[in-house]
Structure 1
Amino acid sequence: MPNESKREVLTQALQKRIRTFTRIEKAFYGAIVITAIFMAISIIYLQSRNMQVQQEIIRLNSDISGAQTDLNDAKQEVNELSRYERIAKIAKDAGLSIQNDNIQNVELE
């Protein structure tokens, strides 16, 4: 019995204390809860924005890779078109003679 009365007194004291938060305590705890909610929403927003930026970076890198491939293909085509044998064949077919002094090498950057 004495344990039950102590427990009952303790329970009543806790209930009384919980019911009688001052306005400052309520404002403090409310501010903590609002801050926690705001931070959770901010973290979710920042993570989603980070994912969007990463996807944009991946897309841009893909575009750059495609452009680099196109550039390499163009360089290869220029090299193939400017080969000496090809130029000599075209000149011969057109009835022209080749003068080695007039041939220049094209350098691609």
Structure 2
Amino acid sequence: MSLNSNLARNVEVEMPLQSPLATPKQTNSPIHKPIPGKSIVTRTEKMLIGMIMTIAFTLIAVSISLEINVASINRALQDTKTSIVSTTTINNNLKQEVQELSRYDRIYKIANNQGLKMNEANVRNVIK
């Protein structure tokens, strides 16, 4: 065979067999194995956690209920204050109207239109 040939050649080479590296020995130590049948949380702890969660939920519900109640009472208070201010304004306007309608010159003019005359003997002064 010549070396100039481009054909693949089948060359047999003997490879020595290698043994795998030494595997670590498996020990039967319970270091990483959990103990079967033993639970981390006991029954009493579960009941205690349940009671605490129930109390917390109840407190949260009561707190939300009270906040809603306070908000509605504040709204009612604001409505009442608005109503009081409106009524006070109306009362002040009516008092001013009474004072304007009870002016002496207006009453005198109405009395003259009705045919009434001023008689000093029948007039009384009232002091408040």
Matched, 1:72 2:112: no
* Aligned amino acid, residue 77 of structure 2: I
One of 22, 32, 47 as aligned partner of 2:42: 22
Residues 23-58 of structure 1: CA distance to partner in whole angstroms, max 9, x if unpaired?
Answer: 221111111111111111111111111110000000
Task: Could you tell me which runs of 5 or more consecutive residues in structure 1 were left unpaired when the two chains were aligned.
Answer: 1-7
Change (3 A) 1:25 1:85: same
How many residues of Structure 1 are paired with residues of Structure 2 in the alignment?
A: 95
One of 65, 68, 79 as aligned partner of 1:45: 65
2:80 alignment partner in structure 1: 60
TM-score (ref. length: structure 2): 0.62
Separation (CA, whole Å) in 2 of partners of 1:103 and 1:82: 16
What's the CA shift for 1:99?
4.2
Matched, 1:91 2:79: no
Trace 1:95-106 onto structure 2 (pairs within 5 A): 95-99=115-119, 101-102=123-124, 104=126
Task: Could you tell me which runs of 5 or more consecutive residues in structure 2 were left unpaired when the two chains were aligned.
Answer: 1-30
One of 15, 36, 39 as aligned partner of 2:56: 36
Change (3 A) 1:72 1:24: same
Higher-helix-fraction structure: 1
* Aligned amino acid, residue 93 of structure 2: D
The list of structure 1 runs, each at least 4 consecutive aligned residues, that deviate by more than 6 angstroms after superposition, is none
Higher normalized contact order (CA 8 Å, seq sep 6+, divided by chain length): 1
Change (3 A) 1:102 1:81: farther
